[in-house]
Amino acid sequence: MSPLIKTSTLRVLFSSRLPVLASSSNNKFRPFCYPYSVSHKAEPKKMAAERALPQIFQYVDQNVESYKNLLKEAVAIPSVSSDAKHRDDCVRMVEWMKEKLKEVGATTELRDIGFQTLEGKQVKLPPVLVGVLGNDTNKNTICIYGHLDVQPALKSDGWASEPFELVERDGKLFGRGSTDDKGPVLGWLHAINAYKNVGSELPVNLKFVFECMEESSSQGLDELLMEKLKPEGFFDTVDYVCISDNYWLGTTKPCITYGLRGISYYFLEIECAKMDLHSGVFGGTVHEAMSDLIYLMDKLVDKDGKILITDIYKSVAPLLETEKQLYNTIDFDPEAYRKSIDAYKLPHNAVKEQLLMHRWRYPSLSLHGIEGAHYQTGAKTVIPGKVVGKFSIRIVPNQEPEEVEKLVFDYINKKWAERGSPNKMSISAQSGRAWTEDPDHPHYQAAARATKLIYQTEPDMSREGGSIPVTITLQEASGKNVLLLPMGAGDDMAHSQNEKINVRNYIEGIKLFAAYLYEVGKLPK
Ligand SMILES: NCC(=O)N[C@@H](Cc1c[nH]cn1)C(=O)O
Ligand SMILES: [Zn+2]
Ligand SMILES: [Zn+2]
C-alpha cells in the first residue's frame, strides 16, 4: 500500500467485511507492527493510536502505585446494594465515579431510576451514571457497562483482613469489589487516562453506563435503558458494547466471554408467630416456621445437584453436536479447579466437558441462606417467628424467567399443600435473562488480537455461569455485538471471603483495555 494513500481510499479498503487484520493472522503475531504502511499525515488519528500503544504500556507500568491507590479509595466505599443501611454509600460511590469520569474528559449525568421496596420500606435507588467521551463520526463508538455496587462482606465471615480496606499480599489486592467490579471499572478510566497522558487521541468514542444495583438484580436499569436512553437516541451511535465483569476460567489463560446464565432469585417467607419465641416456653406448642422452611427447601434439589422442580429442564436448549465439540478445546483443569476452592470432590465424575456444561449451559439451583434464623455463635434457644429462605436458579438459553418463576411457584404451592401447615407462606422472585452472542464477530476478533498482544496467547472463547442481567438488555437496546472482556482470574473469589484481584491482572488488564480500544478503533465504521 502506498505510504501516501488517502483516508478516503483507506476507508474503502476497511469497509470490505473481511477481518481488518486478516493479513496478520498467518504470520507470527508482531505486537506493534501496523499491517498498513500509511504515513502519519494521511491517517493521523489511527497512526497516533498505533504509535501510542508502546508508550501507553510503559506509562501504565510507571503508574502502578497510583492505580492501586485509586482502587483502595473505591473499595473503601462500602457500596452494598442489597442493604438499605448502605444506600448512601451506593450514592456516594456513583458520585465518586462521576468525578473520576469527568476528570478524564467525559460529560456525565446522574439518571434517577426511582424507588424499590427494601426491608418493607420504599427506598430510593442509587442513580445510574451515564457518560459520553468523544463524538467523532469517523470513529467507532463503544458503550462500556460496569457496576459500582458490591456484595455484602464482614470480617467475621472469615476474611483475613478488613473487606473494605484494600490490602496487598503476595501480589494480590484483597478487598470487596477489587475484582467484582471496581477493579475492571477503574481499568477503563486508567486506559483512557494513559492515552491522554502520552498525548494520544482516543481511537474510539466511548459511552458509559455505570450502575450501583447489579448485585441486586439491576433494579430500575432496564427501564432507564429501554424507556429513556434508547428513545433519547443514546444507542444510535453505539457500534459495540463491552463489559468487563467476569473472570478467566482458570488462573493463567485469558478468555473472552460470549454467554452468561440468567438468574431467578427467590424469597420464600414463612411466618408462624408475630415475634420470636423461647423454645423452652413455647417449644412443642407451635408449628415452627423454620421446620416448614427446611421441609420446602429440601424439596428443591437432590444431592447430585439435580433440580427437582417439575418440568424445569423441559425448555433447556438442546445440546447440538457443534456445540459439544467446542468444550473439547477449552483449557480447563478439573483438579486445579477443585484445589482452588478446596472442594472435597467434584460432581459429574470431574469430567471437564460435563463440569463446563453444568456451569454454562444447564440450570443449577443454589440455597443461599435463611433470614431471621439464628446464625451467631452460642446456643440461643429461639424459635424464629418469621424466616425467609433464599435460593436461586441460574437459568440458561431458551428458559424465560416468567416460565421458570411459574414452575417454581406451582411446585412450592404443591409442596406446601402436601405439608399441610397452618402457617403463612409467600414466595416472590427477581429474575434476569440468560445471554449469548456470536463469538465469530469481528468485535471478538479485535478483542482476541488485543488479548494476544498483552498475554502472548490466543484467548479461549468461553461462557460464564454467573449473570449480568443487563447484558441482554444492552444487546437489544443497541442491536449491536456485545462482548465480555474479563480482567480478573478464575480464583479471584468474587462474592466470597477474601475477594482479590492479582496486581498482574489489574495492570495487564489496563493495557488490555487500551489495546482493545485501539483494535476496535481499527474496525470498519
Ligand atoms: N459479576 C457479575 C455478578 O456477580 N452478578 C451477580 C448478579 C446477581 C446477584 N444477585 C442477583 N443477581 C451474580 O450473582 O451472578
Ligand atoms: Zn458480583
Ligand atoms: Zn459483577
> Tell me: the pLDDT tens digits for 195-243?
999 999 999 999 999 999 999 999 999 999 999 999 999 999 999 999 9
Mean pLDDT to the nearest integer, 508-514: 98
CB 153 within 8 A of CB 86: no
Ligand 1 and 215: CB distance under 6 A: yes
Phi, psi (rounded to 5 degrees) for 70? -70, -35
Show binding-site residues. Answer: 147, 180, 215, 245, 278, 381, 394, 467, 495
Q: Is residue 46 very low, low, confident or very high in pLDDT (cuts 50, 70, 90)?
A: low
Residue 64 reports pLDDT greater than 60: yes
Q: Which ligand is nearest to the CA of 217?
A: 1
CATH 3.30.70.360 for domain 262-317+361-432:
yes
Q: Is residue 45 very low, low, confident or very high in pLDDT (cuts 50, 70, 90)?
A: low
Give tens-digit pLDDT for 256-312: 999 999 999 999 999 999 999 999 999 999 999 999 999 999 999 999 999 999 999
Q: Which ligand is nearest to the CA of 466?
A: 1
Residue position matching grid coordinates 439451583: 365
Give tens-digit pLDDT for 155-180: 999 999 999 999 999 999 999 999 99
Contacts of 435 (CB under 8 A, 6+ apart): 259, 260, 262, 468, 471, 472, 475, 482
Q: Residue 513: its pLDDT value, please?
A: 98
The SS3 of residue 105 is: coil
User: ω into residue 181 within 30 of 0, thus cis?
Assistant: yes
- Tell me the C-alpha to C-alpha distance, in Å, between residue 29 and each of 17, 48, 485: 21, 21, 20
CB 125 within 8 A of CB 219: yes
Percent of the chain with pLDDT over 90: 89
Q: Is residue 118 very low, low, confident or very high in pLDDT (cuts 50, 70, 90)?
A: confident
Atom index in ligand 1 nearest the CA of residue 467 equals 15
Residue 466 reports pLDDT greater than 80: yes
Alpha helical stretches, state H, 104-215: 183-197
Cβ-count burial of 347 within 10 angstroms (0-12 exposed, 13-18 middle, 19+ buried)? middle
Q: Considering the entire predicted model, what is its pTM? A: 0.88
The SS3 of residue 392 is: strand
Ligand 1 and 63: CB distance under 6 A: no
Q: Is residue 120 very low, low, confident or very high in pLDDT (cuts 50, 70, 90)?
A: confident
Q: Is residue 50 very low, low, confident or very high in pLDDT (cuts 50, 70, 90)?
A: confident
Compute the mean pLDDT over every residue in the chain, rounded to the nearest whole number: 91
Q: Residue 27: its pLDDT value, please?
A: 29
Q: Residue 48: its pLDDT value, please?
A: 65
Q: Which ligand is nearest to the CA of 469?
A: 1
Cβ-count burial of 165 within 10 angstroms (0-12 exposed, 13-18 middle, 19+ buried)? middle
Mean pLDDT to the nearest integer, 246-253: 96
Q: Residue 250: its pLDDT value, please?
A: 93
**Lowest-confidence region among 119-128, 129-138, 283-292:** 119-128
Q: Residue 51: its pLDDT value, please?
A: 85
Closest Cα to atom 9 of ligand 1: 215
Contacts of 78 (CB under 8 A, 6+ apart): 86, 89, 150, 164, 176
Q: Is residue 335 very low, low, confident or very high in pLDDT (cuts 50, 70, 90)?
A: very high
Residue 186 reports pLDDT greater than 70: yes
Ligand 1 and 466: CB distance under 6 A: yes
Q: How far is the CA of 517 from the centre of ligand 1 (A)?
A: 26
Give tens-digit pLDDT for 338-385: 999 999 999 999 999 999 999 999 999 999 999 999 999 999 999 999
The residues carrying an active-site annotation are 149, 214
Residue 479 reports pLDDT greater than 50: yes
Residue 115 reports pLDDT greater than 90: yes
User: 219, 263, 496: which to mutate for ligand 1, most atoms within 8 A of CB?
Assistant: 263
> Which of 492, 465, 510, 469 is closest to 178 using CA atoms?
492
- From CA 314, how far away is CA 312, in angstroms rounded? 6
**Lowest-confidence region among 10-24, 336-350, 370-384, 430-444:** 10-24
**Lowest-confidence region among 87-96, 115-124, 381-390:** 115-124
Closest Cα to atom 12 of ligand 1: 217
Parse the chain into domains and list their residue ranges. 55-148+157-260+435-521, 262-317+361-432
Q: Which residues sit with Cβ closer than 5 angstroms to ligand 2, an ion?
A: 180
Q: Residue 321: its pLDDT value, please?
A: 94
Q: Residue 28: its pLDDT value, please?
A: 29
Half-sphere exposure of 49 (CA within 13 A, CB side): 19
Atom index in ligand 1 nearest the CA of residue 430 equals 11
Ligand 1 and 263: CB distance under 6 A: yes
Q: Residue 20: its pLDDT value, please?
A: 25
Q: Residue 169: its pLDDT value, please?
A: 98
CATH 3.40.630.10 for domain 55-148+157-260+435-521:
yes
Mean pLDDT to the nearest integer, 70-88: 98
With the C-alpha atoms ordered 46, 48, 49, 51, is the resulting torsion angle positive or negative? positive
Ligand 1 and 245: CB distance under 6 A: yes
Q: How far is the CA of 213 from the centre of ligand 1 (A)?
A: 10
- The ipTM of this complex is 0.96
Closest Cα to atom 7 of ligand 1: 215
Residue 37 reports pLDDT greater than 60: no
Closest Cα to atom 8 of ligand 1: 215
